[in-house]
Amino acid sequence: MHEMILWQVGNSTVHGTTLVMTWITMAVIIIIVLLGVRNLTSGKPGKMQNILEWLVDFIRKLVAENMDYKKGAPLLSYLMTLIMFIFFSNMLGLIPNFVAPLFHNVEFAKLNEIFHGPVLMSPTADINTTMGLATLTIILVVYLGIKHKGASYFRHFIEPNALFLPIHIVDILSKPMTLAFRLFGNIYAGEVLIAVILMLPGLYVFGGVIGPLPIWLGFSIFIGTIQSFVFTVLTIAYVAQAVAHDH
């Protein structure tokens, strides 16, 4: 669990910790993708290319299983970026803060405070990040619904009767809320428990190889992976509902 460091940018206040951790996540993704396509080949691919190709096939299969693939194909790049960003964001909060000594005396942009603590922070442990991702998703859903169905997309708001309009409005507004709070709640709770475990003076066997922290780290990796999958699948499902002709 990290103290939120604020930056004053003009008349606006931004979360410095979240921004820095987001930039780190973006850098990790860019490096991994560049390594994967560095020696791109249709012959015998390298390990990193194999992983990226597997991920592309995995996302393509999810899209094909949930909607007309021709309508969903343009989403592949967004969905690839989405699942990778959420996954690595979730994992970032489990990485020991090895760089803390490098920024110990760096007061610029409060970096000494941002990199203070035993572990880094997950950007998805900030509700602003998860709400931003969920807002992007719901904007995409509405945009694609209008693109494929025109003004008739809004017809479902008054089906089967105009009396259902308030319910449909609540439904469309609740989707980004549930997406955001589900992801935020799971990752934030994990970081809180890790912080609590690190403060416990409990017994550790074999230098901590067996103890509460390694067990919880393993569970957190599982939860972080599942949450990135769930967010992506729900994004596909919401888009599928919006572009389906029988919706």
Alpha helix (H) residue ranges in the chain: 16-37, 47-66, 69-72, 76-92, 111-114, 127-149, 165-199, 212-243
The pLDDT tens digits of the residues spanning 51-94 come to 889 999 999 999 999 888 888 888 999 999 999 999 999 999 88
- pTM for the model stands at 0.86
Distance of CA 122 to the CA centre of its chain: 10
Look-up: residue for tokens 């951790």?
21
DSSP letter at 159?
A: -
**Is residue 126 within 8 Å of residue 15, measured between CB atoms?**
yes
Strand partners, 96: 119
Instruction: Report which of 89, 85, 78, 83 is spatially closest to residue 239, judged by C-alpha positions.
Output: 78
Record the tokens describing residue 203, joined without a space.
């017994």
The pLDDT tens digits of the residues spanning 111-141 come to 887 777 777 889 999 999 999 999 999 999 9
